[in-house]
Amino acid sequence: MVSFNEAPDESIRSPLPLLNNVYRYNRVNWYTASTEGLGLKGPAIITQFLGGPSRDYDQGYIKAQPYGRSFNTFAFEVNYFDTIMKFSISAVALVAAKASAITFYASNSSTALEEFAVSGVTGWSNPQFASIYHTCNETNARMIRAGLKDSLEAAAYARARLTEYGKDDEIYERWFGNGSIYEVIGTIDWLVEASKDSLLYRCDDIDGECAANPTTYPGYHREDASGETVICDLFYTSKKPLANMCFDGSIVSTGPKHYAGIDLLHRYLHVPYMSSDGYIAEYFEELDEILDVAQTNSSFAVRNVDSFLYYIAEVYSEAVIPGGCLGDL
């Protein structure tokens, strides 16, 4: 039986191959799927069905196959009454069975984040994080850590795409043209694994910029303390988890910084130490300019912050919906 914080409001036995049970919880169907024969580490997968009716699973099938090379991500295809619905699950969502119960990884405590980071499920060998100052309350800290966890996953998808497809890839060419792939891979690795001992997140509006810009500043970087990033209240209300990708609209309509994990990657590059004193910077922020520089001056595209953010977001979206959800350019 699956273990929830609260009892599911209903349980249904699923007749579909590979699905052990379908559980109805908070109006969402959750499946525990057997990994037998799939070559996965761990005895169970838990994932969310992303579409279709909530009942009557007597006609249909599910099949699973590996997706991607650099870390464990699996694509699933569900046929429901001849309607094909596809979704994917990364190793981030793999959970281990303990006795007869599924354990949910739901904590964003500091210890939990560190354990998650070194577990290897996203393919990073030594991810590093900025410290969180005591002026951030527990809720602030949990939401920041949740964003950092998303950052690891988003960056891992980007690196996997780079190593699998290289420069001969439509998404790469759109955002970086024929720019150096070594700079792109190196930058993404640097964002995740560079030492961040000198970096600090704080939640007190020490310079008053949050109060002065309550509807436009999710955060800011202190000029008098270059390693410090202040996270404003707007961050917590406006930035969304990667789980919302494509469901909040296209990437073009929301912007990649709509997602907390991608926004936090971008915030690293406002820190002089992380940006190599502005070697990587926000040279071009408007979408038409970002697209143009990739084709006309790719040496700057691989140094442009927003080019990275759009690339990371588009790559991640392709794992959510086949073909992604970039939107109209």
Task: For the beta carbon of residue 66, count every other beta carbon within 10 angstroms.
Answer: 12
* DSSP conformation class of 245: T
Average pLDDT over residues 144-170: 95
Q: Return the percentage of the chain with pLDDT > 70, whole number.
A: 63
Alpha-carbon distances of 200 from 136, 141, 253, 275, rounded to whole Å: 11, 12, 31, 16
Average pLDDT over residues 168-197: 96
Q: For position 125, what pLDDT does the model report?
A: 82
Longest dimension (CA), the chain: 64
Tens digits of per-residue pLDDT, 57-97? 333 333 333 333 333 333 434 333 333 334 343 333 322 22
Tens digits of per-residue pLDDT, 105-156? 233 346 666 666 656 556 788 899 999 999 999 999 999 999 999 999 999 9
In the structure encoding, which two tokens stand for residue 124, read together?
């990073």
Q: Return the percentage of the chain with pLDDT > 90, whole number.
A: 61
Tens digits of per-residue pLDDT, 217-273? 999 999 999 999 999 999 999 999 999 999 999 999 999 999 999 999 999 999 999
Q: For position 108, what pLDDT does the model report?
A: 39
Domains delineated in the chain? 10-102 (no CATH), 110-320 (3.40.390.10)
pTM for this structure? 0.68
* DSSP conformation class of 122: T
Q: For position 110, what pLDDT does the model report?
A: 60
Alpha-carbon distances of 209 from 19, 203, 231, rounded to whole Å: 51, 12, 10
Question: Is 162 in contact with 184 (CB distance < 8 Å)?
Answer: yes
Q: For position 126, what pLDDT does the model report?
A: 87
Q: For position 122, what pLDDT does the model report?
A: 64
Question: Is 47 in contact with 31 (CB distance < 8 Å)?
Answer: yes
Which of 198, 200, 237, 234 lies closest to 219, judged by CA?
234
Which residues face 8 on adjacent strands? none
Indicate whether 288 pLDDT > 60: yes
Question: Is 161 in contact with 176 (CB distance < 8 Å)?
Answer: no
Can you tell me the distance from the alpha carbon of 99 to that of 209, in angstroms, rounded to the nearest whole number? 51
